Structure 1
């Protein structure tokens, strides 16, 4: 019994010695706990020069995401060709330059999207136990989707923006006509449209005014407007305005004719869409409505006939 007590006391002393050794001692011989070391580390970082802590003060986007974006953009530039940045820049102009979208970000998004979907498709195909051929096709299709996803987004933005500009152009020309006939110059009429309307067309007219204010000619600013859009009505309007400015034709007469033509075209487009409705309804009518109608109408008769045959 005494031997066990002595052995227990020795083990306790040994444990205390090990704990003291693991915590360590300061230069003055006093023990430093884990909290003290953390406080000392924070004080050392706080009192250190700015050059040493500059790397830790930068946000995560600048330290990690920006270098990753630059590398992905370089890789996309090599895979896309030398004229890819110019094509993307033109597409961004036509799409209205969405906030946060630049040429470098689009190229980086193409690379990152392709790599991400490649890895996800590989993991999913492996987890689902696909055959080798189907796995290759699935991974290739997913990679292509990731690569072309930014382009598809830009094309969708261009399409939506073009529809809005095409819809708002007749009203904008009417406002210009009223402004010019009331005595304002063409530039002031454009300013009225940019100030009193909203949407992509107003933004484009505001850009035309800014370009003219910095010294660009009216014809050059209007031609730049035509290059930044894919709406044929806007291009026709710009061509008419440039020719009227070149030959000295009264702007009010040209605007009145353009307004009448734009409204006629808009009515014709509405009639064309109305004529297409019966054709578009044929497919859901045949494959969705008629089968359900046949089931409701002929179903009870079919059940009655089957019961009659069973009775026989």
Structure 2
């Protein structure tokens, strides 16, 4: 008798569960299929936090910090010096995608950083105060002109790349024009080629 009660309760439980599942599929089945199809076509949505973390640290933190400091220091940067530096940055191929103000901030930070590094080195080695001041005074200009030297080396490197690629680009341009392409089409053909082809 007791076993029949357990069996009938089990059958009722399974019947109710199955009935609930059927009703659920009947009411929401179409929505579930649409949601699955959207996931297949569009892909599951990526959380905003995950998107933010996929961006490199340089883009998330360092670049905005440089831009913020640049806004504060803009009144101390002469406009002529900024324009001259912007031309150099363009000639160097915009390394790091930084503008002139951000490069100026970088120069200030590197100068202070190297000065502090030299001061700390003098302190660790046990140099006298005058020697520590001399080392710091030598480190600040070194840090100031370091980014400038980097930009100049990039300009020289870029000029060399252009000089090496120019004959091939002119040859391709000539061949494209002779093959019947218009001048603008030939330029597009040259632009499609990888750098330094």
Q: Is the 8 A contact 1:114 1:144 kept in 2?
A: yes
Tell me, in whole angstroms, the C-alpha distance in 1 between the residues paired with 2:65 and 2:188.
43
TM-score (normalised: structure 2)? 0.60
User: Structure 2 residue aligned with 1:111, among 83, 105, 108?
Assistant: 108
1:76 touches 1:111 (CA, 8 Å); kept in 2? no
Rg bigger for which structure? Answer: 1
Report how many residues are paired.
Answer: 142
CA-based RMSD: 3.0
How far, CA to CA, are the matches of 1:68 and 1:186 in structure 2? 42
Displacement after TM superposition at 1:171 (Å): 0.7
TM-score by length of 1: 0.40
Q: CA deviation at 1:68?
A: 6.5
Q: 1:179 aligns with which of 167, 176, 181?
A: 176
Q: Is the 8 A contact 2:66 2:102 kept in 1?
A: no
Please list every run of at least 4 consecutive aligned residues from structure 1 whose deviation after the TM superposition is greater than 3 angstroms.
Answer: 58-69, 71-77, 131-134
Quote the Cα distance in structure 1 between the aligned partners of 2:141 and 2:188: 44
| Cα distance change of structure 1 residues 166 and 63 upon mapping to structure 2, 3 Å threshold | closer
The separation in 1 between residues aligned to 2:63 and 2:95, in whole angstroms, is 20
The residue number in structure 1 matching 2:143 is 146
Shift of 1:192: 0.9
What's the counterpart of residue 69 of structure 2? 71
Work out which of the residue numbers 86, 92, 95 in structure 2 matches 1:95.
92
- Preserved contact between residue 121 and residue 139 of structure 1 (Cα < 8 Å): yes
The unaligned stretches of length 5 or more in structure 1 are: 1-57, 203-312
Map Cα deviations across residues 20-58 of structure 1 (whole Å, 9 max, x no partner).
xxxxxxxxxxxxxxxxxxxxxxxxxxxxxxxxxxxxxx9
Distance 2:71 2:143 in 1: 14
Higher relative contact order (CA 8 A, sep 6+): 2
Structure 2 residues not aligned, in runs of 5+ = 1-51
